[in-house]
Chain A
Amino acid sequence: AQKVTQAQTEISVVEKEDVTLDCVYETRDTTYYLFWYKQPPSGELVFLIRRNSFDEQNEISGRYSWNFQKSTSSFNFTITASQVVDSAVYFCALSEARSDYKLSFGAGTTVTVRA
């Protein structure tokens, strides 16, 4: 069963628009971590953010912000004032205590930012 669902396959925006990426996860564990990774066209995986299951406080870090809601099992990620360099594939991932914190990835959302 898919533990992490990213329903959006592709998103295309014009530069300076905001982009929100949806992520829904499934777990029975009480202790878990959620991640967002970025994969630019060069192919490497870049860690962006991480939250643990005990901290639902939403934060902003530069142009990135996230909305973690345990009630809906969602961990959405927003890029504010998008730039061309934000064009990449974005992955949401889950690691659970009961599975020794192995990472389970969503299918990814391809974001294209047009100038």
Chain B
Amino acid sequence: NAGVTQTPKFQVLKTGQSMTLQCAQDMNHNSMYWYRQDPGMGLRLIYYSASEGTTDKGEVPNGYNVSRLNKREFSLRLESAAPSQTSVYFCASKSRRDRVNYGYTFGSGTRLTVV
């Protein structure tokens, strides 16, 4: 099925460990996003990529890095995980040409726990 695929779905890390969250979309969308969701705070933008080859910081970028590997893939890396990064992470994509809908497609989320 077309859409946004995130891996893994669940992950437990120890403080200080590193890991990369993977995201891929097969809709030929230009823009991709990483959000984190914490209780009582909604979803907050970590990083985004408006097009292949570009990345920009969002609202809460500290402690994260991203790579827009190609048009399909946008990965999020935690270099040294901290308990404060325990959250649910969502990847999303959007087509810049879709000026009528400006609809986002979200992945199913990655639940990350840092102990």
A103 interfacial by beta-carbon distance below 8 Å: yes
CB-based contact A108/B42 at 8 Å? yes
The secondary structure that dominates the A interface is loop
CB-based contact B43/A91 at 8 Å? yes
Given the interface contacts A43-B109, A44-B108, does A50 sit within 8 Å of B40 by beta carbon? no
A/B interface sample: 17 pairs, CB < 8 A: A9-B40, A33-B102, A43-B108, A43-B111, A44-B109, A45-B106, A45-B109, A50-B101, A91-B43, A95-B102, A100-B50, A102-B48, A102-B58, A103-B33, A103-B45, A105-B42, A108-B42
Which listed residue, A9, A43, A47, A108, touches B104 by the CB 8 Å rule? Answer: A47
A107 to B38, CA, bound (A): 9
B44 interfacial by beta-carbon distance below 8 Å: yes
* A107: B residues at CB distance < 8 A: 40-42
- 4 further interface pairs, Cβ-Cβ under 8 Å (given A50-B102, A103-B92, A107-B42): A6-B42, A43-B111, A44-B108, A102-B48
Q: Using CB atoms, name the residue of chain B closest to A101.
A: B102
* B42: A residues at CB distance < 8 A: 4, 6, 91, 105-108
Sorting the interface of chain B by its residue count into under 10, 10 to 19, 20 to 34 or 35 or more gives 20 to 34
B94 interfacial by beta-carbon distance below 8 Å: yes
Interface residues of A in 84-101 (CB under 8 A from B): 91, 95, 100-101
* A9: B residues at CB distance < 8 A: 40
* A95: B residues at CB distance < 8 A: 102
B88 interfacial by beta-carbon distance below 8 Å: yes
* Max chain A C-beta neighbours (<10 A), residue from B50, B92, B104: B104
A108 to B106, CA, bound (A): 17
